[in-house]
Each structure stands twice: as C-alpha cells, then as structure tokens.
C-alpha cells in the first residue's frame, strides 16, 4: 500500500470541551500512512474552543455541531454522516501513536469477510501525553469471543476500526448507555455473527486526565452491574455462557476493583473486591490469590509490593476469620 493512499476509511471524533487536545488527535490522523477519506468531528455542544480548533484545519475536517447529547449519540451522528466503507473512532483527547494504525487494521479486517471490528493495544498517557504504561489486552483476551468480550471488556473506542455495515446491522452504539458503550458494541456485534480480530500492536494513546475519574468508575460499575443482569436474562444467551454467570460477575467486580486501584482509590478497590465475594465460593486464601492473579493479568508490570503493603490489602488478608476456609 502506497504511503498516504486514500481509501474508504472515515474517522469519527466525538468531542466535548476538548479544545486543549483535539488538535493533537486530528494531527495524528493526518499523519497516518493511510489517509482517510474524511475526518468528522462531532462537537457535542462544547462551550470552549473545540469548534475553533476543528475549523482551523479547514477542508481536511468535516465539522458538525450538535446540542449536548452525550458521546454515544455523537458517535452515531458521525457514523450516519460518514461515507467510508470502514469507520474508525477516536476520542478527542486521545491520539494515534502508530502512523500505520489505520493501514494495518484495514489490511487485517479485509482478510476476514465476517470481521466487524479490529481492535489493538494502547498506551496510557498522562494529561501532558507522556507515556505511563502499555496495555496489551490480547494477553488475557486472546480469542475475543463472547466470553472474552464479556469477562474482560478488552477494547477502547479509540483503538477500534469497524466495518460500517456491521455497525449499521446492530443500529450503531446504544444511546441509552453512557459509560460502557464500547463494551456493549463489541458484545452486540458478536451476537450478530461478526468476528472481532486483534491487531497485536500498540497503536493509540489513551489520555488519563479527568479529575473526576473515580466518579466515572463508579458510574461504570453501576452501569456494568445492571448490564450483566440484563445480559444473563436473555433467552438467546448460549447455554455454556449462561452457566458462567456467577464467575463472570465475580470477574467483573474484580475488574472494577482494578480500575479503582489504577485511580489510586484503594478504599473503593477494597469495597469492590469484597463485593466480588457474593459471586464466589472460594476459600479465603484462594480469593486472595484469584484477586492478585486478575490484577497481574490486567497489568503485567503490577507493583505487587505496593499493592500487598497497602492498608486495604492487609485488611483483606485479615479477613481470614470471617471467610470459611
């Protein structure tokens, strides 16, 4: 594939008060070896200079403004407006770090006619864009089948490249979901018969900067709990998966605990781990081991000493007298 060849890939960037970061996101798309036919910025009712930044790129960016309706509706607006056979999504505060991201994902999705989505790894970066750590989710969710998708939620919006007709088949992102729309879209694509593939590369930077990250995790925890209750009430859920309801809900609580741990909220981490016990019959020692192994799976570079020496983890260790076994 020739450098900067234009093919039918649209990039949709939902943006809300992202003026400080949007330029970096757009520039990272323009730097791709595979130039998309369009970059669509959907301004979700911003009150800062998001619109000014988007318009500064001239004809290279299609700018759409809508009343504040949420990221999910903004993504769907971008999907509806897109002309490409394939659609990549990129949050306005994230950016591509691999110049061949779109090119490599397009090559991969074309190899599999039933593939509706290609994901990749990413790196977490701080507010200034400096690397914190890499995430390679194929190490714990290698198959990307329904079980992997439900247990691990291994994809972020900013690493996704979709086949547009697959998104249309499932009516796009669910506008009723506020936080876990990426989790939901993967599951619905699989239910619709599409496969999901990995590009096993770090392609994107995911910016960690929100001072209200704990609140977002709390909302995610609530939304995910309700989502799993509804999921396991479905009549069309495969029997072998239905039998895994308790271990999957167990794993989901551990995942939430890990997110709190990442955010430095050790008390909330402890609470989420205690909540996971409702869905497990493991003995005290096996619970501790399971929690630690799960954290290791999410972060191979986990600072285990820091975790094990924390007051909250020591409190969990001291639960022996309260847990059978």
CATH number of the CATH domain containing 195: 3.90.550.10
- Of 182, 207, 232, the position where a domain reaches its end is 207
Mean pLDDT over all residues of the chain?
93
pLDDT of amino acid 325? 42
- Of 166, 184, 207, the position where a domain reaches its end is 207
158-184 pLDDT, tens digit each: 999 999 999 999 999 999 998 999 999
- Of 172, 207, 242, the position where a domain reaches its end is 207
Position 299 pLDDT exceeds 90: no
Q: Do 178 and 125 share a structural domain?
A: yes
Q: What is the DSSP string of 257-308?
A: HHHHHHTT-HHHHHHHHHHHGGG----HHHHHHHHHHHHHHH-TT--HHHHH
Q: Do 241 and 191 share a structural domain?
A: no
Q: Do 161 and 13 share a structural domain?
A: yes
Q: Do 127 and 19 share a structural domain?
A: yes
State mean pLDDT over 197-207: 97
Q: Do 155 and 217 share a structural domain?
A: no
Q: Do 11 and 112 share a structural domain?
A: yes
101-128 pLDDT, tens digit each: 999 999 999 999 999 999 999 999 999 9
255-281 pLDDT, tens digit each: 999 999 988 999 999 999 999 999 999
Rounded to whole angstroms, the maximal C-alpha distance in the chain is 67
Q: Do 296 and 166 share a structural domain?
A: no
CB contact at 8 A, 65 and 43: yes
32-49 pLDDT, tens digit each: 999 999 999 999 999 999
How many structural domains is the chain composed of? 2
Q: Do 243 and 108 share a structural domain?
A: no
CA distance 10 to 311: 48
Q: Do 293 and 201 share a structural domain?
A: no
């Amino acid at each position: 594939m020739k450098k900067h060849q234009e093919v039918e890939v649209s990039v949709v960037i939902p943006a809300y008060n992202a003026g400080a970061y949007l330029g970096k996101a757009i520039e990272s798309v323009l730097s791709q070896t595979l130039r998309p036919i369009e970059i669509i910025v959907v301004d979700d009712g911003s009150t800062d200079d998001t619109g000014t930044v988007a318009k500064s790129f001239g004809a290279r960016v299609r700018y759409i403004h809508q009343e504040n309706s949420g990221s999910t509706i903004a993504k769907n607006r971008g999907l509806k407006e897109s002309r490409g056979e394939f659609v990549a999504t990129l949050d306005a505060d994230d950016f591509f770090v691999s110049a061949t991201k779109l090119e490599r994902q397009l090559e991969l999705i074309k190899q599999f006619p039933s593939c509706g989505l290609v994901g990749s790894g990413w790196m977490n970066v701080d507010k200034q864009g400096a690397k914190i750590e890499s995430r390679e989710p194929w190490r714990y969710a290698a198959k990307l089948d329904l079980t992997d998708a439900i247990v691990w939620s291994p994809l972020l919006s900013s690493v996704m490249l979709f086949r547009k007709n697959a998104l249309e088949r499932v009516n796009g992102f669910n506008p009723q979901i506020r936080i876990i729309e990426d989790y939901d879209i993967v599951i619905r694509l699989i239910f619709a018969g599409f496969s999901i593939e990995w590009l096993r590369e770090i392609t994107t930077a995911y910016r960690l900067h929100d001072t209200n990250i704990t609140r977002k995790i709390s909302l995610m925890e609530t939304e995910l709990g309700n989502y799993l209750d509804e999921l396991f009430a479905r009549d069309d859920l495969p029997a072998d998966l239905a039998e895994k309801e308790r271990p999957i809900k167990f794993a989901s609580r551990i995942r939430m605990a890990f997110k709190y741990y990442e955010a430095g909220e050790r008390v909330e981490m402890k609470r989420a781990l205690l909540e996971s016990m409702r869905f497990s019959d493991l003995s005290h020692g096996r619970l501790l081991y399971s929690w630690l192994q799960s954290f290791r799976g999410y972060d191979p570079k986990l600072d285990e000493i820091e975790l094990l020496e924390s007051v909250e983890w020591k409190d969990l260790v001291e639960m022996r007298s309260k847990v059978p076994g």
